[in-house]
Structure 1
Amino acid sequence: AFKNCAHEGRIIAEEHKNMAKSYADLKSQHQNSDRETQHVVESKTTELLKIRKTEFQIKRELRLKQLVEKNEDILWLMSRLEHYEENIHKVEKKDV
Structure 2
Amino acid sequence: MMNTLDLNACISVKTEDALKALNCIRANKIFAKIFPFNNCNETELNIAVNKKDLKTAMLMLKKNNIEVVAYKSYEENIIGTFYENTGY
Would you say same fold, with TM above 0.5? no
User: Which structure's residues are more often helix, by fraction?
Assistant: 1
Q: TM-score, normalised by structure 1?
A: 0.17
**Higher RCO (C-alpha under 8 Å, 6+ residues apart):** 2
User: Which structure's residues are more often strand, by fraction?
Assistant: 2
Q: TM-score, normalised by structure 2?
A: 0.18
